[in-house]
Chain A
Amino acid sequence: MADALAPLRHWEVAIWILVVAALTFGNHLSPAFLTADNLGNLAANLSEIALMALTSTMVIIAGEIDLSIASALGMCSCLLGLLWSYGVPMPLCVLAAVAAGALAGAGNGLLVTWLGLPSLAVTIGTLALDRGLAFALLGDSAVADFPTFYTNLGFGAVPGTTIPNPMVLFAVLAVLTIVVLHATPFGRALYAIGANPVAARFSGLPVARYKFLLFVLSGAMSGLAAIVYTFRFSSARGDNALGFELPVIAAVLLGGVSIFGGKGSVIGVIAAIFLVGVLQNALALVDVSNDILTVVTGLALIASVLGPNLAARAESRLHRYRRAAGAGEEQPQRENGR
């Protein structure tokens, strides 16, 4: 399975180099960039997208997709707010939010594994469904009076530093995700399922069960991200995180994960998230409008697939030319891990 990663390691190294380049670029643009405060803000802004990208990476590697993550976040956020406004103790509200997310994910999982429906269509449906439920919970109003202990958790930083608290959570979960994906049988199974679901099933892997679990995890992560969002902005509203699913998917794809499944890693995705975040922050510091960054993100996304495609095509053309030129000569045995 390491071979699945081999061609991508190329891209992951490249993208981390790009992150370093972006940091240098940002420093060049403005002295205010490489300050602890600014970097802290930069990281804080990415909290929810980063968290959701972790589980989305696993989902996409397994060959599925979950577009309902942001709507589930909104729904869980509103549930949190609603329960709090009814006087339910906060720890219970928090638990309920994660549980609701897991439930929403289970819904997705059931439709995909038990009914066999395509996850793209299912999650477009639950995207609308969950967002509607979010509004149904709180209507047009918002809940804002959360206790400072909790809002400080979302908004504050590790004492003595400017590392935002949510980033600590992200770091822990990121390490966990890396371990799960690359060092456990479950993780390896995901790659196998994504690469060839039929073969995986015939090899005895519990494909349906694993996919179901993935969607539940994805939903639970939306719930967790909802808690972070709600406390960070001290606001539970129906339109929280509206539209966040696309930046998450874009970050995962930009990080080198193949949309067809079976290839990619979290390390690249983390780099992609920070790359976009760094560029956004640096450009904003010199009052360059966000539109340029939107264009750049789109181009980078396209390039991340187009580039390797064109490179592979050029390479094969070169091989064909070489083969034609050296017709009759024995071809050296090429090492192939497959």
Chain B
Amino acid sequence: MKRRSLMIGSAGALLAGMLPAEAAGIKPGLTIAFLPKQVNNPYFTIADNGGIEACKEFGATGKEVGPSNAGASSQVSYINTLVAQRVSAICISANDRNALVPYLKRAMATGIKVVSYDSDVAPAGRDLFCSQADNQTIGRDEVRLLGKMIDDQGQIAILSATPNATNQNTWIKYMKEELAKPQYTRMKLVKIAYGNDDDQKSFTEMQGLMQAFPNLRGVIAPTTVGISAAARYLSASPYKGKVVLTGLGTPNQMRAYVKDGTVQAFALWNPADLGYLAAYAAGSLCSGLVSGKAGESFPCGKLGWRTIAADGMVILGPLTVFDKSNIDQFHF
């Protein structure tokens, strides 16, 4: 009996050694669910598909579930269903930092691992947080990018997503800190508008911004839904070319507006990579490879090995800036 299990064990070890380094150690047969802010958002479709691809690589089943509106309470019933379905891990991009914590804690109490990605929850409600880039970097870089295009002077506004979204509020905080620096004294933030990650609302909010602040020089829209709606409004209005729009957008949605001059430059990361990272983080947690402490490392497929920073954060990497010169190279 013992010899048999020894043989199987060593055969297994041999096989594990023959497997590509990325899948080494992650238990096969896991179920990982992706619960984005909302499902009818192309950004999340790309991210979650990236995650599901990663799941295939290490033999797990991945699926995407979620609400069609970016409200806090909408995600709750999905969390409950996933708990009842006894998934191995939940990867969630949260609509609200605090409202979901009791439900996620309940999930974790049943042994489910929780990895937040894109938009965090309070640390008590998750094991790891996969961040697209360092939040400080995102906030400050957005201001720097806009400042370069408007000579660091003029009225600016922010077109955000939902007022409660954790990631938005963190970035806005760092944007304000950056704006407080002496070199930006002539750049004034006059308004933060909320498009709720809804295309129609973002469109009309952009319209409202131009109505209320005719001398607006620049707008930062750190949301892919917001920036594409705002660009669409601008490109058909007399403000095209006069107001500088930047923010976080996907190349596919923004290509036409970069080419017609409405937008000069904007930034993003690869959402598919973010989902990919989250999946591997979840898989590693489930397999006991890491427990969420700073300094631990886990395999991450084509992204190599990743180390956990403080507060359970894992950073994907720096932002990519897209403009006329490089936008055709990307297809997401």
Within 8 A of A (CB), among B233-255: none
Give the distance to chain B from A69, nearest Cβ to Cβ, in Å: 17
Of B71, B77, B97, B194, the contact of A45 (CB 8 Å cutoff): B77
Min CB distance A93 to B, Å, is: 18
Are B102 and A237 in contact (CB-based, < 8 A)?
A: no
Q: Is the CB of B194 within 8 A of A144?
A: no
Chain B: CB-nearest residue to A145? B98
CB of A84, distance to nearest CB on chain B (Å): 14
Q: What residues of B have a CB within 8 angstroms of the CB of A242 in the complex?
A: 71
**A235-B194 in contact given A41-B80, A285-B81, A285-B84 (Cβ < 8 Å):** no
Interface centre among A229, A233, A287 (most CB of B within 10 A): A233
Contacts of B163 in A (CB 8 A): 140-142
B31 to chain A, nearest CB (A): 11
* Known contacts A239-B71, A287-B63, A287-B65, A37 near B164 by CB under 8 Å: no
Contacts of A32 in B (CB 8 A): 84-86
Q: Tell me the complex Cα distance, A338–B330, Å.
A: 76
Tell me, yes or no, whether B258 is within 8 Å of chain A by CB.
no
Q: Using Cβ atoms and an 8 Å threshold, which residues of chain B touch A240? A: 73
Q: Does A113 contact B (CB under 8 A)?
A: no
Q: How far is the CA of A256 from the CA of B194 in the complex (A)?
A: 42
A215 within 8 A of B: no
B289 close to A (CB within 8 Å): no
**A234 and B98 contact, CB distance less than 8 A:** yes
Interface contacts beyond A30-B84, A284-B77: sample of 4 additional A-B pairs, CB < 8 Å, sorted by A? A142-B163, A144-B96, A144-B97, A233-B99
Q: Which residues of B contact A285 (CB under 8 A)?
A: 81, 84-85
- Indicate if the CB atoms of B194 and A140 lie closer than 8 Å: yes
Decide if A35 is an interface residue (CB 8 Å cutoff).
yes
What 10 pairs across the A-B complex have the smallest Cβ distances? A140-B163, A41-B80, A235-B99, A144-B98, A32-B84, A284-B81, A38-B84, A233-B99, A233-B73, A155-B102
A41, B84: Cβ atoms under 8 Å?
A: yes
**Docked complex: B40-73 residues within 8 A CB-CB of A:** 63, 65, 71-73
Given A140-B163, A140-B194, A284-B81, A235 and B96 contact (CB-CB distance below 8 Å) = yes
- The complex places the Cα of A35 from the Cα of B81 at a distance, in Å, of 12
When chains A and B are docked, how far (Å) is the Cα of A155 from the Cα of B80? 13
B89 → chain A closest CB, angstroms: 16
User: Is the CB of B279 closer than 8 A to any CB of chain A?
Assistant: no
B83 sits at the interface (CB 8 A)? yes
Chain A 140-175, CB-CB to B under 8 Å as 1, else 0, gives 111011000001000100000000000000000000
The 20 sampled A-B contact pairs (Cβ below 8 Å) are A32-B84, A32-B85, A35-B84, A38-B80, A41-B77, A41-B80, A140-B163, A142-B163, A144-B96, A144-B99, A151-B102, A233-B99, A234-B98, A234-B102, A235-B96, A235-B99, A239-B71, A242-B71, A284-B77, A284-B78
**Which residues of chain B are within 8 angstroms of A30 by Cβ–Cβ distance?**
84-85
Interface residues of B in 136-183 (CB under 8 A from A): 163-164
Asked if residues A233 and B76 are in contact (CB atoms below 8 Å), the reply is yes
- Shortest Cβ distance from A155 into B: residue: B102
Q: Is the CB of B84 within 8 A of A235?
A: no
Q: Is the CB of B73 within 8 A of A235?
A: yes
Give chain A residues whose Cβ lies under 8 Å from the Cβ of B99.
144, 233-235
Against B, the Cβ 8 Å flags (1 = close, 0 = not) of A226-267 are 000100011101011010000000000000000000000000
Give which listed residue, B65, B81, B98, contacts A235 with CB less than 8 A: B98
Q: A45-B77, A233-B76, A235-B73 are in contact. Are A37 and B98 (CB under 8 A)?
A: no
- Cβ–Cβ < 8 Å partners of A37 in chain B: 83-84
Closest to A32 in B: B84
Q: How far is the CA of A285 from the CA of B77 in the complex (A)?
A: 11
The residue in chain A whose Cβ has the minimal distance to the Cβ of B193 is A140
Kindly name the residue among A35, A41, A151, A229 whose own CB sees the greatest number of chain B CB atoms within 10 A: A41
How close is B37's CB to chain A, nearest CB, in angstroms?
15
Question: Which chain B residues border A151 with CB–CB below 8 Å?
Answer: 102
Task: Report the Cα distance A133→B76, complex, angstroms.
Answer: 26
Q: How far is the CA of A152 from the CA of B99 in the complex (A)?
A: 13
From the candidates B63, B72, B77, name the one contacting A237 in the complex (CB within 8 A).
B72
A281 at the interface (CB under 8 A from B): yes
CA distance A155 to B83 in the complex (A): 16
Which of chain A's residues has its CB closest to B100's CB?
A233
Interface string of A65-106 (1 = CB under 8 A from B): 000000000000000000000000000000000000000000
Closest-CB distance, B178 to chain A (whole angstroms): 22
Name the CB-closest residue of A to B194: A140
Least Cβ–Cβ distance between B96 and chain A, in angstroms: 6
Known contacts A151-B102, A234-B99; is-contact A142 B84 (Cβ 8 Å): no
Q: What is the CB-to-nearest-CB distance from A265 to chain B, in angstroms, rounded to a whole number?
A: 29
Contacts of B98 in A (CB 8 A): 144-145, 234-235
Contacting pair B102 A45 (CB below 8 A): no
Question: How many angstroms between the C-alpha atoms of A144 and B76 in the bound complex?
Answer: 16
Q: Which residue of A lies closest to B73 (CB)?
A: A233
Contact B164–A142 (Cβ < 8 Å): yes
**Which residues of the partner chain A approach B101 to less than 8 Å between Cβ atoms?**
234
CA distance A233 to B96 in the complex (A): 10
A291 nearest in chain B by CB position: B68
- Chain A residue with minimal CB distance to B101? A234
Interface membership of chain B positions 251-287, coded 1 if the CB is closer than 8 angstroms to chain A and 0 otherwise? 0000000000000000000000000000000000000
A30 to B81, CA, bound (A): 11
Q: Which residue of A lies closest to B196 (CB)?
A: A239
